[in-house]
Chain A
Amino acid sequence: MTQEPVAAPAPGHRRLSRKVQRVLATSLITGLTLLILFFYLVPMVYGMFTAVKTDGQFSKTGAPIWPASEATFNYQGEDYEIYLVPIEGQIKSMALIKKGRASSTFIDPADEAAGPVEWAGSWRSLERSWEFDPQWENFPDAWNTINYPNLLKNTILYAVITTFGSVVSAALVAFGFARFRIPRKNVLFILMMSTVILPGAVTLIPTYFFWLKLDLVGTWWPLIIPAFFSWGTNVFLLRQFFLTIPRELDEAAMMDGANPLRIFVSVILPQSTSALTAVALFHFFYAWNDFFNPMIYLAGHPEKFPITIGLTAFNNLYAASINMIQAASLVSAVIPVLIFFFAQRAFMQGVVITGVEK
């Protein structure tokens, strides 16, 4: 994979030098990557542009793809629409001050002193002039319409509490699997890993019924409590990491009379911050993304919705407000994307451990 195939030199020509080959290959591959990346991220640019468009821009023909509004010009105390007028061999942006069937009167906003100009032709055939006009207030508008502060509060609470629960429980269990001789430990471990690919649906109905019986459907409890009982992938990741911590450290602490719980807290955990961070991030993003469980357990309680469900409800209600939906979607992505940028190293390492080493 050191070089890309380069067109074979015609016979008689000298071979391209290695350096030229390298430069060619580098620019080719880098160019290809950039091109793919461009198309890959087009929807995001679309989202950003669309989020700040005016409501009217979508239905007008001839509207540009960037956020813009139809330009107007204030002439003698009144606003006039600006059109693109072919005049004197070029296209000029002119304000239409008097409409006529066969000819109309325009004024050049850039040169008001030149006075009104008469233009022969139907003004209806002209295109409007658009000017860059991002509607930044769409973000606060979307923010308020969807009641973001509440959604955000719910989501953050949910994410933080369950992240705490899942990290603590996964660390305890991983320590148990990594360090202790337990009868049938391998069977238990395989059992745990098989729950990872178990479809959630197969346990859903009795679980739902259980929460229903306790009268807790419509509260956050069915979403929060399970996180405290450790999930397979998280345990796996932490166990792999704990196995790399030298046992001598445990032994030294043991000589000092520390019991296993103490070793866990003061030897293992401080050594494992990167793995613990990865698990915390996994769970945080999982919770931020969770859709199915809140949809089932919080149906009919909009005041308890997390962002995902709030966004869906918003989309159902305001399907026509394309700009608002894009603005709301982008806002929901800000926190996870920011966290990702700051913590991507630990996070990606975690993904690799759970994905490759199984």
Chain B
Amino acid sequence: MSLTSKLHALRPQKKFKTKISSLQKKEALWGLFFLTPWIIGFIGLYFFPMVASFVFSLLEFNPTVPDQAAYIGFDNWRRALFEDPEVGLSFLRTIRFSAISLPIGLAFALFLAVLLNSKNVLGSQLYRTLFYMPSMIPLVATVLIWNGVLNEQTGWINIIIQNLTGIQAVGSTGLRWLADPQLVYLAYTMFGLWGVGPAMIIFLAGLQGVPTELYEAAEIDGASWFQRLGKITLPMITPVILYQLILNVIGSLQYFLAPFVLNRGTGFPEGMTRFYMVYFFKQSFTFQNMGYGATLAWIMFIVGIILTVILFGTAKYWVFYAAEDKE
């Protein structure tokens, strides 16, 4: 390898379409050998299934009677986009839920990171571990534990609220977190707070990467703590925030776990939790409409791309790239 790299460095850089030396060829072959698991995986698990998924979306297809599969052109797409109201509704529910849970989750992660990065916290390492720990609990268990603590009769959340504020929170006339359409998204958001660990330590690493000279300069200029936070800390970690935002947006499009664990995807209460992914699952696996399911999946994929592009597009207005010196 060393020899080939030196040769490569000496020679004027050419497009590799031109003659490839046998050494380079050998190196490339070795490289491809190591990439084999990924190449097979990419073709077999991503590329081919994606194409096939698109083909499926043009079929009327039920795997229990595969012989009756029929090509129906873009009927599935027309149905999903214009005729089936549940597609739009479930998508809207997903958006409404994300509009609550995503900002709260990210803000909480960022808040914890700022707090734990403060020099004024004693035992920061310990808190980091403890705030992270619930992220390690299997999500199903998290949902069940929160389902208990939010129980309107016996859950502690209502008992605490009632004792602190005096509001009638306990009981069937109180705060019915998981049965009240007004509250259920908040309840689901709370489950999410227990998964805040990874975002928290990623933000924390971002905060620790902010050059201290900036703070020293600001302090000399007499900037207050809040000014420093708003003018230095937050702008400096906006690239990390953007990345987390994209991951979370894509993730929330696929939100499905809590509704499945708590009510098997019935949408309780009042259909509020029949999110897009839940509807996708119902169509594909409960009703076995796999052609239609593939269409729904492709729509989700396209929406995901559009959202990612939009987020990247907004980046130039709010994301601050200071050090473009990598590589």
Contacts and interface: CB of A to CB of B under 8 A. Distances in A.
**Chains A and B come from one and the same complex:** yes
B186 interface: no
B32 to A, nearest CB: 6
A90 B148 CA distance: 36
Interface stretch (A101-109, A119-127, A176-184, A272-280): A176-184
Interface stretch (A10-18, A129-137, A223-231): A223-231
A182 B35 contact: yes
User: Which size bracket describes the interface of B in this complex?
Assistant: 35 or more
The majority secondary structure among interface residues of chain A is helix
A356 B202 contact: yes
Given A1-B228, A247-B2, A260-B1, A182 B31 contact: yes
A358 B239 CA distance: 10
A296 interface: yes
Contacts of A352: 201-202, 205
Contact of A33 (B127, B198, B261, B304): B127
A228 B37 CA distance: 7
Contacts of A25: 120
Nearest to B141: A329
Contacts, number: 306
Given A205-B293, A230-B37, A296-B285, A179 B1 contact: yes
Interface stretch (A71-79, A110-118, A333-341): A333-341
A91 interface: no
A250 B261 contact: no
A358 B326 CA distance: 11
B238 interface: no
Contacts of B189: none
Given A182-B31, A322-B154, A348 B132 contact: yes
Contacts of A2: 119, 215, 219
Contact of A37 (B127, B209, B277): B127
Contacts of B290: 205, 208-209
Contacts of B193: 40
A1 B153 CA distance: 43
A245 interface: no
Contacts of A333: 136-138, 141
Interface in B184-234: 193-194, 198-199, 201-202, 205-206, 209, 215, 219, 224-226, 228-229, 233
A195 B219 CA distance: 44
Nearest to B296: A201
Name which of A169, A235, A348 has the most chain B CB atoms within 10 A of its CB: A348
A5 interface: yes
Nearest to B277: A201
B48 interface: yes
B284 interface: yes
B300 A43 contact: no
Interface in B250-290: 250, 253-254, 256-257, 260-262, 264, 277, 280, 284-285, 290
B128 to A, nearest CB: 8
Contacts of B146: 43
Contact of A180 (B31, B114, B301): B31
Contacts of B32: 176, 182
A153 B225 CA distance: 52
Contacts of A150: none
A330 B138 CA distance: 10
B277 to A, nearest CB: 7
B129 interface: yes
B141 to A, nearest CB: 4
B202 A229 contact: no
Given A30-B120, A348-B132, A358-B243, A289 B34 contact: no
A26 B115 CA distance: 11
A315 B144 contact: yes
B30 A195 contact: no
A142 B137 CA distance: 18
Interface stretch (A44-52, A81-89, A92-100): A44-52
Contact of A175 (B8, B34, B42, B122): B34
A5 B225 contact: yes
Interface in B44-59: 44-46, 48-50, 52-53, 56
A197 B247 contact: yes
B130 A311 contact: no
A181 B31 CA distance: 7
B236 to A, nearest CB: 12
B136 A337 contact: yes
A273 B284 CA distance: 42
B306 interface: no
A220 interface: no
Interface stretch (B82-90, B97-105, B155-163): B155-163
A88 to B, nearest CB: 30
Interface in A289-320: 289, 291-292, 295-296, 299, 307-308, 311-312, 315-316
Given A46-B155, A180-B28, A348-B132, 12 more contacts: A5-B225, A33-B127, A46-B145, A58-B153, A180-B31, A197-B247, A201-B254, A201-B280, A202-B298, A205-B53, A226-B41, A326-B145
26 contacts: A22-B120, A26-B121, A29-B121, A33-B121, A58-B153, A65-B159, A180-B34, A181-B31, A182-B28, A192-B38, A197-B304, A198-B301, A199-B297, A200-B254, A203-B53, A204-B284, A206-B49, A212-B63, A229-B38, A229-B40, A230-B37, A247-B5, A289-B138, A312-B260, A326-B144, A356-B209
